[in-house]
Amino acid sequence: MRLILLGPPGAGKGTQAEGIKKEFNIPHISTGDIFRENIKNNTKLGEKAQEYMNKGLLVPDELVVELVKDRLSKQDCSEGFLLDGFPRTIEQAKALDKELEKMNQKLNKAVNIKVSEDVLVERIVGRRICRDCKATYHVTFNPPKQEGICDKCGGELYQRDDDKEETVQKRIKVYNEQTQPLVDYYGKKGLILNINGEQEIKKVLEDVINNLKGKKNDNY
């Protein structure tokens, strides 16, 4: 199963990725992980990526594609993969298509977890993290027993800067401008699988798995 995972910030992609990975026994590959792995191992690609990052620049598409291609050539991807965070743009998607074609591979589906903007903002802005043990809470959906205090270790709970409403709105705007067009791109290829991400976590995963196994029609 060769999959791409799409969805805006706060859609729950990370949580769903874990379930998909286990169900289909495929590696969950995020660009962040690829960067860290290559930089840690001092690979040539990693050194190039580090140069851009040190200057505060975005890693160019050509290099990102090279890093992804290198990762997909590894043995654990022989039966499939789940790409998360790549592609982010139409240009990257076209580049990925070309590389997969060279590898005689094709994508099975692009799983798109759909969540309305209001729900996204509520989910992200309400998130709180423990400074000490990094446990996560939510002021509405998973509040601590005592406000501002971690249930597990008694540490202070705080809101990350990128979880503040103004930043969240910007992140969603960037997603809508850059990545949302991928839904149309993969839709025209008949590869898009739309999933209602506003359901309970277990139900979202159940819908993803059933659709991918052909037990259920995509009707969202």
Q: Annotated catalytic sites, by residue?
A: 13, 88, 127, 160, 171
Please list the helix, strand and coil fractions of the chain in percent, rounded to the nearest 5, in that order.
Answer: 50, 15, 35
**CA–CA distance, 107 with 5 (Å, rounded to integer):** 11
What are the helix (H) ranges across the chain?
A: 13-24, 31-40, 44-54, 61-72, 90-102, 117-125, 165-178, 181-188, 201-212
Are 25 and 79 in contact, with CB atoms under 8 Å apart?
Answer: yes
Q: Which residues pair with 83 in a beta bridge?
A: 4, 29
